[in-house]
């Protein structure tokens, strides 16, 4: 490998945070850089070590009370408790991950869900506040350097999949000391986009450590990943097939891709590269995270097929960079955050990323935990086609054939129950399903937590 380390594009981090990047598509950038250096990248996740090395643990007494949120600027009155703050995962380097917990009104036996944060325009909308009432959710922002998470050691900002999983695990073990009442609770992990990598990797680490740990056993019951980047070959191939089938690119460029591209080859041929470039140009300037949404910069008065506001990330940026909000959230308490809160950190170099996590997901499926893979069907960044190319590689036994699922008398999407893995689409949703179709998202998410397939009527 040239130069010693693989440095992926700094913007990759964007994929980990809560909202879309402005004017950037980090996953496409990642794939482009990946395509160029394919021959040099590591192939699959190594899971060599079976030995448990105890994770760092800090006394957590009294920290829970300090983390309680007493009021948030602009938030309508809520009855459920909320907590947010930092959990140190490496005291020597000074690395800490930020979390935000919203409890259910009656939370005594509800499951605990680790997920990405989603905030958007509906932040001030009462309906959106009903979400946390239903389930207790815990949001953690990782890796350090994204959102409010940070490190006092600059070299920590060169990171990758393995370090992110390890930090998240250390975070969880310490967080459960801070909130010991959750130790035995059913635990689920969900996430979207690049979480297709880091959710399965964290779940794998939890299951592995559960077998040997003398620290916290985490009661992991399931994972759900949405519009998930799982496999490089399926991602690149499935994306162009989606563009063609959704009338975004010409027959000529699509035919060229089929004829000249061999994505498994170490080098991409010039003719393939040309066909890909042509296709990319043909798409024009659309909002990739939802191919039917308007652009944030648009003055168009044409009715939109999508009710999503593509300027959401601007509102979130403004809100989370308001000093009173940061104070209320106990963020940036030590003034250690190097720059403004941003969904897309420019600080981070992503140096390690396996080409596929299919083997990891297969391992999870065989472990008996619940594995759901969902997809908003108007996303152009990790389109539903990419997921459909991966599914037969995970399971070729269909237990419940394709059927439409319903919410409030409308088709909410479609379901296929494979052996050990459930596939669900959410109709009319973009890249981050809950931001585009909040009601349908809650409906299917409730089914996931109840361990039932979404309703067929
Ligand atoms: C980072 O440095 C600041 C300033 O010295 C300190 O207050 C903070 O506790 C450090 N963070 C961690 C996680 O150790
Ligand atoms: C857990 O095991 C490690 C070594 O494997 C040991 O150093 C540590 O003291 C043990 N902790 C407890 C609480 O028993
Ligand atoms: C893309 O995947 C489909 C389905 O697996 C396959 O038929 C096709 O040949 C692939 N195309 C390329 C360019 O790899
Ligand atoms: C694509 O590349 C791979 C790896 O070099 C090779 O094994 C395969 O035969 C190629 N496929 C075609 C259709 O040329
Ligand atoms: C929208 O209107 C403003 C003011 O008329 C103009 O400056 C801007 O360029 C327009 N934006 C687009 C995308 O046409
Ligand atoms: C955190 O506080 C420091 C010092 O007050 C400030 O320079 C920095 O911009 C703040 N970070 C954020 C995210 O607002
Ligand atoms: C499903 O799980 C069972 C039991 O753990 C395992 O034996 C089987 O191989 C798994 N099948 C698939 C397709 O993952």
pLDDT tens-place string over residues 338-354: 777 766 555 566 666 78
Residue 259 is predicted with a pLDDT of 97
> Which of 191-195, 284-288, 294-298, 310-314: highest mean pLDDT?
284-288
Residue 29 is predicted with a pLDDT of 65
CB 456 within 8 A of CB 403: yes
Q: Among 212, 214, 217, name the best residue to mutate to test ligand 2's pocket (greatest count of ligand atoms within 8 A of Cβ).
A: 214
CB 202 within 8 A of CB 165: yes
CB 292 within 8 A of CB 310: no
Ligand sitting nearest the alpha carbon of 38: 4
Q: What are residue 110's phi and psi, to 5 degrees?
A: -80, 155
Residue 162 is predicted with a pLDDT of 81
Reported as a single tens digit per residue, the pLDDT across 79-108 is 888 899 999 999 998 888 888 888 887 777
Question: The pTM is what?
Answer: 0.86
Reported as a single tens digit per residue, the pLDDT across 55-83 is 889 899 999 999 999 999 998 888 888 89
Residue 15 is predicted with a pLDDT of 31
Q: Where are the beta strands (DSSP E) in 60-147?
A: 82-90, 95-102, 112-115, 136-141
Residue 275: pLDDT band with limits 50, 70, 90: very high
Residue 105 is predicted with a pLDDT of 76
C-alpha 177/C-alpha 279 separation (Å) is: 51
Residue 362 is predicted with a pLDDT of 98
- pLDDT surpasses 50 at 119: no
CB 166 within 8 A of CB 180: no
Residue 335: pLDDT band with limits 50, 70, 90: confident
Ligand 3 centroid to Cα of residue 356, in Å, is: 16
Task: Tell me, yes or no, if 379 is annotated catalytic.
Answer: yes
Residue 410 is predicted with a pLDDT of 97
Binding site membership of 7 for ligand 1 (Cβ less than 6 Å): no
- pLDDT surpasses 90 at 386: yes
- What is the pLDDT averaged over residues 421-449? 95
Residue 364 is predicted with a pLDDT of 98
From the list 232, 301, 202, 296, the residue with the least C-alpha distance to 44 is: 232
- What is the pLDDT averaged over residues 386-396? 97
Residue 349 is predicted with a pLDDT of 61
Ligand 2 centroid to Cα of residue 55, in Å, is: 10
Reported as a single tens digit per residue, the pLDDT across 35-59 is 665 645 444 444 545 677 788 898 9
- pLDDT surpasses 70 at 10: no
Atom number in ligand 1 closest to CA 91: 14
Binding site membership of 93 for ligand 1 (Cβ less than 6 Å): no
User: What's the length of the chain?
Assistant: 457
Binding site membership of 419 for ligand 7 (Cβ less than 6 Å): yes
- pLDDT surpasses 80 at 397: yes
Which residue of the set 149, 151, 168, 193 is catalytic?
193
Task: Tell me, yes or no, if 431 is annotated catalytic.
Answer: yes
**Adjacent-strand bridge partners of 410:** 407
Contacts of 1 (CB under 8 A, 6+ apart): 37, 40
Ligand sitting nearest the alpha carbon of 52: 2
From the list 131, 103, 136, the residue with the least C-alpha distance to 118 is: 131
Ligand 3 centroid to Cα of residue 53, in Å, is: 42
C-alpha 146/C-alpha 153 separation (Å) is: 14
Reported as a single tens digit per residue, the pLDDT across 355-379 is 899 999 999 999 999 999 999 999 9
- Cβ burial of 65 (10 Å; 0-12, 13-18, 19+) is exposed
Residue 123 is predicted with a pLDDT of 31
C-alpha 376/C-alpha 426 separation (Å) is: 5
Residue 297 is predicted with a pLDDT of 86
Binding site membership of 279 for ligand 3 (Cβ less than 6 Å): no
Ligand sitting nearest the alpha carbon of 209: 2
C-alpha 88/C-alpha 71 separation (Å) is: 24
Reported as a single tens digit per residue, the pLDDT across 142-156 is 555 567 887 888 777
Residue 393: pLDDT band with limits 50, 70, 90: very high
Mean pLDDT taken over the chain: 82
Residue 19 is predicted with a pLDDT of 39
Ligand 6 centroid to Cα of residue 332, in Å, is: 6
Q: Which of 45-54, 185-194, 353-362, 380-389 has the least mean pLDDT?
A: 45-54
- What is the pLDDT averaged over residues 209-228? 94
Binding site membership of 333 for ligand 6 (Cβ less than 6 Å): no
Q: Which of 178-182, 332-336, 382-386 has the least mean pLDDT?
A: 332-336
């Amino acid at each position: 490998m040239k130069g010693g380390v693989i440095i992926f594009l700094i913007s990759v981090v964007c994929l980990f945070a809560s909202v879309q990047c402005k004017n950037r598509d980090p996953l496409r950038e990642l794939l482009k850089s990946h395509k160029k250096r394919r021959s040099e990248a590591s192939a699959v996740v190594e899971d060599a070590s079976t030995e448990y090395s105890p994770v760092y643990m800090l006394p957590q007494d009294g920290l829970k009370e300090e983390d309680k949120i007493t009021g948030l600027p602009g938030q309508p009155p809520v009855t459920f408790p909320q907590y947010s703050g930092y959990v140190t995962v490496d005291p020597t380097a000074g690395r800490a991950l930020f979390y935000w917990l919203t409890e259910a009104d009656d939370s005594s036996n509800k499951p605990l869900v680790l997920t990405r944060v989603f905030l958007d325009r509906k932040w001030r909308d009462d309906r959106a506040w009903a979400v946390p009432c239903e389930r207790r959710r815990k949001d953690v922002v990782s890796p350090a350097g994204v959102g409010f998470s940070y490190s006092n050691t600059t070299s920590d900002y060169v990171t990758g999949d393995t370090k992110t999983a390890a930090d998240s695990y250390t975070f969880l073990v310490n967080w459960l000391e801070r909130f010991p009442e959750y130790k035995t609770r059913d635990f689920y992990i969900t996430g979207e986009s690049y979480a297709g990598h880091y959710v399965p990797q964290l779940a794998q680490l939890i299951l592995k450590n559960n077998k040997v740990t003398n620290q916290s056993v985490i009661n992991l019951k399931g994972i759900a990943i949405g519009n998930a980047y799982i496999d490089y070959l399926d991602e690149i191939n499935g994306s162009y097939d989606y563009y063609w089938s959704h009338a975004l690119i010409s027959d000529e460029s699509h035919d060229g891709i089929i004829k000249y591209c061999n994505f498994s080859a170490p080098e991409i041929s010039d003719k393939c590269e040309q066909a890909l470039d042509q296709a990319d140009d043909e798409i024009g300037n659309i909002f990739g995270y939802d191919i039917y949404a308007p652009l944030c910069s648009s003055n168009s008065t044409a009715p939109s097929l999508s009710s999503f506001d593509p300027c959401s990330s601007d509102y979130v940026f403004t809100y989370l960079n308001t000093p009173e909000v940061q104070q209320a959230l106990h963020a940036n308490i030590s003034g250690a955050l190097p720059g403004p809160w941003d969904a897309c950190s420019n600080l981070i170099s992503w140096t390690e990323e396996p080409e596929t996590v299919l083997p990891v997901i297969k391992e999870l499926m065989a472990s008996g935990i619940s594995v759901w893979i969902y997809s908003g069907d108007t996303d152009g960044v990790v389109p539903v086609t990419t997921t459909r190319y991966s599914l037969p590689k995970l399971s070729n036994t269909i237990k419940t054939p394709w059927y439409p699922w319903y919410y409030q008398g409308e088709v909410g999407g479609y379901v296929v129950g494979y052996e050990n893995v459930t596939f669900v689409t959410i109709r009319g949703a973009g890249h981050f399903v809950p931001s585009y179709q909040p009601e349908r998202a809650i409906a299917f998410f409730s089914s996931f937590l109840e361990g039932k397939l979404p309703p067929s009527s």
